Amino acid sequence: MISPEALNAKLDDMLKDTKNKRLKWRLEIETSEYEPEDKKIVIKEGNKEWLMNECYTCFSCNFHGEDFVMITYEDIETYEKETRSLTMVFLPPVAMRLFDVNTLAPYCISTNAVLTSKIHTLYETLLALYKEDKNNVTIIMDPWVPNKGIEQ
């Protein structure tokens, strides 16, 4: 498994190539952000009820002849004006694009503030690049669908 420092260095190189338009990225995003509040998970702690938003982002590209896949999971919880969050980073096999923390767990890598910031910078860079020139970035965004794939 790759260390946070090694992934950070790799992302530095990827960001340089991205800014020079030498990489073609695919972003797949699934978020509960736009769901009605009554459909979101509520976490009760004492007299506080935290409203949970979840977001998965799959970053993929071909970097130096090798396929690269990184999936991030963010749990963002709010209570009135307070916010807390958890970010997890996974480097699964190339063919795995499942947005499920339990399935991705064996591919989780430890993170730190520097790596989390670098991933956020990559995300913002890709969004900006997408706005100016859609040739190097494809974005697929699905609204959150609880129990996706299960007939109800």
The predicted-structure confidence for 20-74, as pLDDT tens digits, reads as follows 999 999 999 998 888 888 888 899 999 999 999 999 999 999 999 999 999 999 9
- What is the model's pTM? 0.86
| Number of structural domains the chain divides into | 1
Q: Quick one: which of 95, 104, 100 has its CA closest to 147?
A: 100
What does the pLDDT read at residue 152?
Answer: 25
What does the pLDDT read at residue 133?
Answer: 82
The predicted-structure confidence for 84-123, as pLDDT tens digits, reads as follows 999 999 999 998 878 889 999 999 999 989 999 999 999 9
150 within domain boundaries:
no
Band (145; pLDDT cuts 50, 70, 90): very low
Instruction: Fill in the amino acid letter for 148.
Output: K
56 within domain boundaries:
yes
Cα 39 vs. chain centroid, distance in angstroms? Answer: 21
Could you list the residue range(s) of the whole structural domain that residue 82 is in? Answer: 4-140
54 within domain boundaries:
yes
The DSSP string of 28-75 is EEEESTTS-GGGS-EEEETTEEEEEEEEEEEEEEEETTEEEEEEEEEE
What does the pLDDT read at residue 97?
Answer: 78
Q: What is residue 123's three-state secondary structure?
A: helix
Q: Is the pLDDT reported for residue 143 higher than 90?
A: no
63 within domain boundaries:
yes
102 within domain boundaries:
yes
